[in-house]
Chain A
Amino acid sequence: MIQEAKRMGREGFFGSQSLFFATLTLFIMYPFVVSDYYIDVAFFFGIYALLGLSLNIVLGEVGLFDLGHAGFYAIGAYTTAILNTKFGIPVLILLPISAAAAALFAYVVCSPIIHLRGDYLCIVTIGMGEIVRIALINNPFDLTGGPNGVYGIDFPSFGGPFVIDSSIEYYFLIWIVVALSIYGLIRLQKSHIGRAWNYIREDEVAAGASGIDVRYYKLLAFVLGAALAGVAGNIYASKLMCVSPESFTFWESCLMFCIVLIGGMGSIPGVLIGAAFISLFPEIFRPFAMYRMLIFGTVMILLMMFRPGGAWPRKRGAAEHPPLHPGKEGIDG
């Protein structure tokens, strides 16, 4: 992990190694110097970063228009909420289970529709997200609590004495999960899997004709993206201690879509910038009260006018391919 972090620094992920460690230090120091309110702001920044990363796999890496991603997020959150409140299973044990539930849902739902192209896939994902939301409102089998949702979710723990119950701990929980996800996603980006995703995004037919199993990799992207969204749902549910359908609307899916595009398709630093914009902007502009969303909309338009490729588009070139047998790698890395 440290090795990887250093490599990220060297390869220009954060510009330079020292900048990377400065950022890291800042992130660790931050919750100890600000009030709980700002720790929570940073927590929700983390949630949006995780959601952005998860949609980035589907939209950014593979180029599949998914405007129903909130559905996967909801499945994760409700899995945690229901299993925790009904059966008392500890929240942290439910973390992988929520991820798996969202992933399984994505697999089942996306398998029959994965061949659809572009906007047809887009509307189906919208429909999927809406179906999930309406189903939650309608309280099937008396599980989801209808429009009010599910209350009384525990703090995250494994069932033992270790309990995450303060803002600072939540902050570290989400950002450690984000960091691990980034690590995994960079691994994937630099592997045949990430390349396969990009080939499909660039030209599906050519990808197939070059030996890429298009269907498999599209499904893999949906499944992984849904799993990460499920993780975000788990943490979100325990932070709020309750979940309700209104947190998982079409609007939420649109926000995630914007995170990826504002940052730059397939760019991990871009996702962080996009998530920062979406989560911090309304906070910073709080003094403007009812005008802040007007400003928000205007800024979105302006951003796309001046940086249509995103704030931090992914750069391709030699940096993606260090020499085959790097001489110094073993010494300083």
Chain B
Amino acid sequence: MEVFLEQLINGLTIGSFYALIALGYSMVYGILKLINFAHGDFFTLGSYVGYTFLVFGSSFITAHFGLWGGLMAAMIIAAVCVAVVGVVVERAAYRPIYPAGRLPAVVSALGASIFIQNAIMVIWGPRYQAYPASLIPNIHIQLGGLHITVLQIVILTMSFMLLGILYWIIQKTTFGAAIRATALDKDTASLMGIDFNKVIFFIFTLGPALGAITGVMVGMYYRQISFTMGWNYGLKAFTATILGGIGNLPGAMFGGLILGVLEMLGAAYISAAWKDVFVFLILIMVLIFRPTGLFGEKVAEKV
């Protein structure tokens, strides 16, 4: 039972990372029908920016606001920087290619991904970097037989708060409605007065910012970061997006959480080495029986 609960908490933690990254995928996918391969690299970039800030810039903030203040500042800085990069990438690599259709855009996205990944390698070097242990609170809690860290609780709370805020933005605000409307039908939405470019700007700031915050959290959680880690997280997050149903934002969140929990339970009860196989098999099973994902609308093609 303790193992199960621990794995559940681990799974929810990782799942919330996937969910936060998946939101970025899903927003871009819903609106542009583009698999934004660079999104995983926004996440990595965020992680590195946060790392740099913690190593070189946080002593002042840490001195005044404590460890947590320093971490918060790292997240905010990373989010702002990566949001700027996100908008630049959209302007430079995607916008000129939209009119040509979605497949050229996929290649362009891959190109952007290669560029960012290698830019990170050129700037920070090809080796692993480690988040400084001294700057990360390391308090353990014993709850019955349960063994967790304060950091884990903070990360979990923060991720869920972010997911909650995002859910609220998407489902309850006018801007969320604009995003959902544009995802359903771009032309009709713009006829209704929704500014397409504003929506694009929004998703390409919000998505990368979320990715960057997740990147810092992953750095705090695992300590080690590498310039290629975006691929793996990106792939998982994209899987979560599809599992939840393409373009369905709450679906992407739940997809991410489910994926994380499945992965950790699979690792604990089946085999750690085969956990990803387990995850992908479940994805394939789900799609065989629900061809548009868990929460996807059943679309009868209009003939």
Contacts and interface: CB of A to CB of B under 8 A. Distances in A.
Interface of A: 112-113, 115-117, 119-120, 122-124, 126-128, 130-131, 134-135, 137-138, 205, 250-251, 254, 257-258, 261-262, 265, 290-291, 293-294, 296-301, 303-305, 308-309
Contacts of B235: 126, 130, 250
Contact of A304 (B107, B116, B293, B301): B107
A303 B118 CA distance: 19
Contact of B105 (A135, A265, A294, A304): A304
The dominant DSSP class at the A interface is helix
Given A119-B242, A120-B292, A308 B111 contact: no
Interface stretch (B77-85, B89-97, B134-142): B89-97
Interface stretch (B194-202, B207-215, B270-278): B270-278
Contacts, number: 128
Contacts of A205: 301, 303
B271 to A, nearest CB: 8
Contacts of B292: 120
A134 B105 CA distance: 29
B35 interface: yes
The 7 lowest CB-CB distance pairs between A and B, nearest first, are A300-B111, A308-B100, A297-B115, A297-B114, A127-B280, A308-B104, A293-B118
B150 interface: no
Given A117-B291, A130-B280, A134-B277, A300 B107 contact: yes
Contact of A119 (B35, B111, B117, B274): B35
B287 interface: yes
A294 B291 contact: no
Nearest to A307: B104
B281 A123 contact: no
A273 B277 CA distance: 35
A124 B287 contact: yes
A290 B121 contact: yes
A153 to B, nearest CB: 25
Given A120-B292, A300-B107, A305-B97, A290 B122 contact: yes
A296 B291 CA distance: 36
B62 interface: no
Contact of B97 (A122, A124, A308): A308
A294 B35 contact: no
B112 interface: yes
A294 B108 contact: no
23 contacts: A120-B246, A120-B292, A124-B283, A126-B235, A126-B239, A127-B239, A127-B284, A128-B280, A134-B276, A134-B277, A137-B273, A261-B103, A261-B104, A261-B106, A290-B121, A293-B115, A296-B111, A297-B110, A297-B111, A297-B116, A297-B118, A304-B97, A309-B100
A126 B116 CA distance: 22
Interface of B: 29, 35, 37, 92-93, 96-97, 100-101, 103-108, 110-119, 121-122, 231, 235, 238-239, 242, 246, 273-274, 276-277, 280-281, 283-284, 287-288, 291-293, 301, 303
A294 B100 CA distance: 24
Contacts of B242: 119-120, 123
Contacts of B112: 297, 301
Contact of A130 (B105, B117, B276): B276
Nearest to B126: A290
Contacts of A120: 242, 246, 287, 291-293
Given A119-B242, A304-B105, A294 B287 contact: no
B145 to A, nearest CB: 31
Which of A115, A127, A250, A290 is packed against the most chain B CB atoms within 10 Å?
A: A127
A265 B107 CA distance: 12
Nearest to B271: A138
Contacts of A122: 35
A265 B118 CA distance: 28
A112 B97 CA distance: 34
A123 B273 CA distance: 21
B280 A131 contact: yes
A123 B238 contact: yes
Contact of B111 (A124, A130, A251, A299): A299
Nearest to B119: A294
B5 to A, nearest CB: 27
Contacts of A112: 288
Contact of B283 (A127, A291, A304): A127
